[in-house]
């Protein structure tokens, strides 16, 4: 019984609402994973930055 609620809590904590650190706009979890840092924090989104700027700021990040 309690196992289900624990599982829900883990899900919630691993998929928090993500907001742009710069403009506080809501961003998708997927977007945060792609453009965010290791903590899925995004310091510039499509609302306040252009895509090529985001890519330049991504330097040093490796997925594999
Ligand atoms: Zn933004």
Tens digits of per-residue pLDDT, 11-61? 544 556 789 999 999 999 999 999 899 999 999 998 898 766 656 665 555
Q: Which residues crowd ion ligand 1, with CB under 5 Å?
A: 20, 22-23, 25, 45, 47-48
Q: What is the pLDDT of residue 19?
A: 93
The enclosing H or E element of 35 equals helix 29-35
CA of 47 to the centre of ligand 1 (A): 5
Task: Kindly state whether residue 9 falls inside one of the protein's structural domains.
Answer: no
Q: By residue range, what is the domain housing residue 49?
A: 18-60
Task: Kindly state whether residue 42 falls inside one of the protein's structural domains.
Answer: yes
Looking at the structure of the chain, the number of domains it has is 1
Task: Kindly state whether residue 13 falls inside one of the protein's structural domains.
Answer: no
Nearest CA-CA partner of 13 in 27, 26, 24, 29: 29
Two structure tokens written together for 6: 């624990």
Q: What is the pLDDT of residue 5?
A: 63
CA of 3 to the centre of ligand 1 (A): 37
Reported pTM:
0.53
Task: Kindly state whether residue 25 falls inside one of the protein's structural domains.
Answer: yes
User: Rounded CA gap, 35 and 50, in Å?
Assistant: 12
Task: Kindly state whether residue 32 falls inside one of the protein's structural domains.
Answer: yes
Q: SS3 for 15?
A: coil
């Amino acid at each position: 019984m309690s196992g289900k609620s624990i599982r829900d809590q883990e899900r919630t904590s691993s998929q928090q609402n993500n907001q742009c650190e710069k403009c506080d706009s809501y961003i998708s979890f997927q977007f945060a994973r792609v453009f965010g840092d290791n903590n899925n924090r995004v310091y510039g989104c499509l609302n306040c930055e252009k895509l090529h700027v985001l890519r330049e700021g991504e330097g040093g990040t490796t997925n594999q």
